[in-house]
């Protein structure tokens, strides 16, 4: 937004000069303020990275095997990841969104209004179980939710929930909580293999976890 604002202000100033109209001091001052904010927000002489998706793709392409499962949470991380990941390496989002070409909020809504709100977590858990029991690895892209073995599943109703309404973040967190509870009960090892990087936009700064071992 800031870059777009500066470009717009610059264009207005140029047009004003070309038309012989004196540029108002207010426009120039505002443009300078915007530029100053942008420069002040720089990291190590440049601007912050908007995403660490290339790092994530590099880890998965180097380490994920054909018997492994890649889970991406929340689902919209999959849009960027699909663009950088080689086509032969597939993944599934949590909740599952089949079309990763764009932001399919209609499919996310379908998950939120489904009659069984534990289904997204169970589906991800079933994929993890199949991979772990066969000696494979589960790669989880996205934040880890604290969970303990034996915890009851999150109490959330089909949207709109009486408490959370249409708050999509609460629904996604409930699905992730259910999945991580399953992992706490059945996986032997969870290792953080890629930390969120400094100077990266927090909206798309993804950790990667490696989950191994099946405890039945």
User: What single-letter DSSP state applies at residue 152?
Assistant: P
Q: Residue 152: its pLDDT value, please?
A: 82
Beta bridge partners of 190: 211
Q: Residue 149: its pLDDT value, please?
A: 75
Beta bridge partners of 187: 214
Q: Residue 13: its pLDDT value, please?
A: 47
CB atoms within 10 A of CB 48: 15
Q: Which residues of the chain have pLDDT under 50?
A: 1-2, 5-7, 9, 12-13, 17, 21, 23, 27-28, 32, 35, 38-46
Closest CA to 111 of 94, 125, 91: 94
Contact partners, residue 100, CB within 8 Å, separation at least 6: 78, 79, 81, 82, 93
Closest CA to 128 of 59, 71, 85: 71
Q: Residue 42: its pLDDT value, please?
A: 45
The model carries a pTM of: 0.79
pLDDT, tens digit (0-9, with 9 covering 90-100), for 32-65: 455 455 444 444 444 578 999 999 999 999 999 9
Q: Residue 29: its pLDDT value, please?
A: 52
Q: Residue 160: its pLDDT value, please?
A: 98
């Amino acid at each position: 937004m800031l870059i777009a604002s500066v470009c717009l202000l610059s264009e207005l100033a140029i047009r004003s000069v070309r038309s012989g109209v004196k540029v108002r001091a207010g426009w120039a001052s505002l443009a300078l303020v915007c530029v100053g904010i942008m420069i002040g927000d720089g990291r190590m002489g440049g601007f912050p990275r908007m995403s660490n998706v290339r790092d994530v793709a590099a880890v998965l392409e180097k380490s994920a095997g054909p018997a492994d499962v890649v889970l991406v949470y929340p689902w919209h991380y999959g849009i960027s990841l699909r663009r950088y990941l080689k086509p032969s390496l597939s993944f599934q989002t949590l909740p599952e969104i089949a079309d990763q070409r764009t932001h399919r909020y209609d499919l996310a809504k379908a998950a939120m209004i489904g009659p069984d709100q534990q289904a997204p977590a169970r589906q991800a858990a079933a994929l993890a179980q199949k991979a772990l029991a066969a000696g494979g690895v589960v790669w989880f892209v996205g934040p880890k939710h604290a969970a303990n073995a034996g915890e009851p599943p999150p109490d959330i109703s089909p949207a709109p929930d009486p408490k959370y309404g249409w708050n999509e973040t609460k629904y996604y967190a409930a699905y992730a909580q259910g999945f991580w509870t399953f992992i706490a009960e059945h996986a032997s090892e969870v290792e953080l293999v890629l930390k969120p990087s400094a100077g990266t936009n927090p909206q798309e700064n993804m950790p990667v976890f490696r989950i191994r071992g099946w405890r039945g």
